[in-house]
Amino acid sequence: MIRLQSYLAGRWQDGAGKGALLTDPVTGETVASASGDGLGMAEALEHARAKGGPALRALTFAGRAGLINAVAAVLTENRDRYNAIALANSGNTAMDAMLDVDGGIGTLKYYAAIGRKLGEVHTLAEAGGDQLSKDENFRSMHLWTTVHGAAVHINAFNFPSWGLWEKAAVSLLAGVPFLAKPATATAWLAYEMVKDVVAKGVLPEGAISLLCGGGRDLMDHVRPGDVVAFTGSADTALTLRSHPNVLASNIRFAVEADSLNLCALGPDAGPDSPEFAAFVKEVTREITVKAGQKCTAIRRILAPRSRIDAVVVAVAASFAKVRRGDPRDPDNRMGPLVNASQLRAALDGLAKLKTEARIVVGGGEPDGCFLPPTLLLCDAPETARLVHEVEVFGPVATLMPYDSTEQAIALARRGGGSLAASVFSGDAGFTATFVPAIATAHGRVLVVDAAVAASQTGHGVVMPQCVHGGPGRAGGGEELGGLRGLRFYMQRTAIQGNKATLEALAAKSAVVAL
């Protein structure tokens, strides 16, 4: 068993006491421990502001891109070791680990490429401007400059690599130092990655900090100019962003929280259609990859009432092909939930869903932390409540019939806001009506027809080019989205003045159209 330390104020530190124990979800063996007790959060954040901030802001976007590429190179060099840790601490299969480890590395490389394109400048200028008076020389523009503070990144247990580096990539490119707080249950992978990056010395002092273990008084020490990006439960998010110091300092706070993500089968997609086949494949993948432990995983499934029986039969056949077991066996495609606590939470949620729906595929008793993939059917979703409110963070989804496009739209919106929806239909008339009608309730909508069924990247895969976040219960935040992600770490300021003055400012900036 190893002891995870924290990298704060430019040095590795150990928290007080025994700390929390990290386990192997397959064997139950304790693999590590971590404690954040007694560590100086005020000192850590001040070190980031005083050392990391000036060093990063002194670099151009292209210079920061070089740093991000160097981080990606360190991680790539150690990729196999990280995959082994993801297996041991998270129960990841090879595919699960690839989504997490390679996803983090890929996002870093993507933002490094953006930085190279922005070039040797420090600021961004929005394209276009406005004349403000009768004097055509008196005009306005909007300039983006890097905030003078530190970023606090609080991440969930399910993606200890991707969650760490997708936030870090944008923060570093914007020029903001960050303190990462991974969920303790799976923090081993984040710890090893940061340890390797620090050992290589590829980032300026203060640019990166890591807290392993409880955050305790972390929110007491943020101050104006700092930002907080949180991924996790809605309850924890509410507690943190309603912290008196966060409110008093008006801290910029982004949240990605619980989400009842939707998948809808169009009325045109019969059992023999390519859209139906793609739909069944996607439902199976989203329920079984990472054992359904993804913020974007499908939780609610809509299908025309006349197709319900066909969907159940097809999903049952698809589930039967998924081999479940110890991810050390490369033939196993589905692993366990990450620990006993998550298993209990999933079983509690499943019990609630069963008051309004019945199991039609899968189910059965768990074996250790292994929970069978499960599809429930709610026959009357329009009068149900819990199927639209309870998220089981595991391999569980609920199928619901609809009788009209209007009803499908109403049911889709009952989730209260989610990160992602997917629609499988070749009927352009249906998608032209359905997609805009549900868009305000979803952060991302994937539309799959026969033309893109083989090339689409997947319902649950977050691509750095697209915004990641969602309205309502999903938190109301946004991350990534290419250049859009930089906005969280930069101040947009309206500049008014002589046309020539504004042109001179723009000439020293990267002009962007957003």
Q: At 460, give phi and psi (nearest 5°).
A: -95, -5
Are residues 25 and 371 in contact, defined by beta-carbon separation less than 8 angstroms? no
Average confidence score pLDDT of the chain:
96
Burial grade of 368 (CB within 10 A; 0-12, 13-18, 19 or more)? middle
Asked if 256 is an active-site residue, the reply is: yes
CA nearest 474: which of 233, 232, 256, 158?
Answer: 256
Residue 476: the pLDDT is 94
Mean pLDDT calculated for residue range 17-39: 95
Helix (H/G/I), strand (E/B), else coil: 489? helix
The single-letter code of the amino acid at 292 is G
155 has pLDDT over 80: yes
**244 vs 216: CA distance, rounded Å:** 14
What is the residue whose two structure tokens read 């990450």?
338
Mean pLDDT calculated for residue range 144-165: 96
Contacts of residue 125, defined as CB under 8 A and 6 or more positions apart, other chains included, come to: 141, 142, 143, 144, 505, 506, 509, 510, 511, 512
368 has pLDDT over 80: yes
Mean pLDDT calculated for residue range 180-186: 96
Q: Where in the chain are all domains bearing CATH 3.40.605.10?
A: 40-257+476-512
Contacts of residue 292, defined as CB under 8 A and 6 or more positions apart, other chains included, come to: 286, 373, 392, 393, 394, 395, 396, 397
Q: What percent of the chain has pLDDT over 90?
A: 96
Residue 492: the pLDDT is 96
**224 vs 372: CA distance, rounded Å:** 47
Whole-number CA gyration radius for the chain: 24
Mean pLDDT calculated for residue range 492-508: 95
Residue 238: the pLDDT is 92
Which range is least confidently modeled, 25-34, 128-137, 502-511?
Answer: 128-137
514 has pLDDT over 80: no
Helix (H/G/I), strand (E/B), else coil: 22? strand
78 has pLDDT over 90: yes
pTM of the model: 0.94
Q: Where in the chain are all domains bearing CATH 3.40.309.10?
A: 261-469
Architecture (CATH level 2) of domain 40-257+476-512: 3-Layer(aba) Sandwich (3.40)
- From the candidates 212, 263, 295, 378, which is the catalytic residue? 295
Mean pLDDT calculated for residue range 302-320: 97
Dihedral angle of Cα 58, 60, 61, 67, to the nearest 10 degrees = -70
Residue 372: the pLDDT is 95
**How confident is residue 363, by pLDDT bands cut at 50, 70 and 90?**
confident
User: How many angstroms separate the Cα of 111 from the Cα of each of 158, 252, 350, 462?
Assistant: 22, 22, 39, 14
Are residues 454 and 464 in contact, defined by beta-carbon separation less than 8 angstroms? no
Mean pLDDT calculated for residue range 178-200: 97
**95 vs 165: CA distance, rounded Å:** 18
Structure tokens at 363: 């189910």
Residue 255: the pLDDT is 95
| pLDDT tens digits for range 424-456 | 999 999 999 999 999 999 999 999 999 999 999
Instruction: Spell 455-464 as b/e; 16+ CB within 10 A means b.
Output: ebebbbbbbb
Are residues 152 and 181 in contact, defined by beta-carbon separation less than 8 angstroms? yes
Residue-by-residue DSSP string for 388-437: GT---SSSEEEEEEESSHHHHHHHHHTTSSEEEEEEE---HHHHHHHHHH
Q: At 32, give phi and psi (nearest 5°).
A: -165, 170
What does the DSSP 8-state code read for residue 257? -
Q: At 297, give phi and psi (nearest 5°).
A: -60, 150
**21 vs 210: CA distance, rounded Å:** 18
Are residues 25 and 60 in contact, defined by beta-carbon separation less than 8 angstroms? no
Mean pLDDT calculated for residue range 74-97: 95
The class of domain 261-469 in CATH terms is alpha beta
Structure tokens at 499: 């046309």
Residue 215: the pLDDT is 80
The single-letter code of the amino acid at 342 is Q
**How confident is residue 258, by pLDDT bands cut at 50, 70 and 90?**
confident
- From the candidates 166, 192, 256, 391, which is the catalytic residue? 256
Q: What percent of the chain has pLDDT over 70?
A: 100
| pLDDT tens digits for range 102-121 | 999 999 999 999 999 999 99
CA nearest 197: which of 349, 13, 12, 59?
Answer: 12
Helix (H/G/I), strand (E/B), else coil: 306? helix
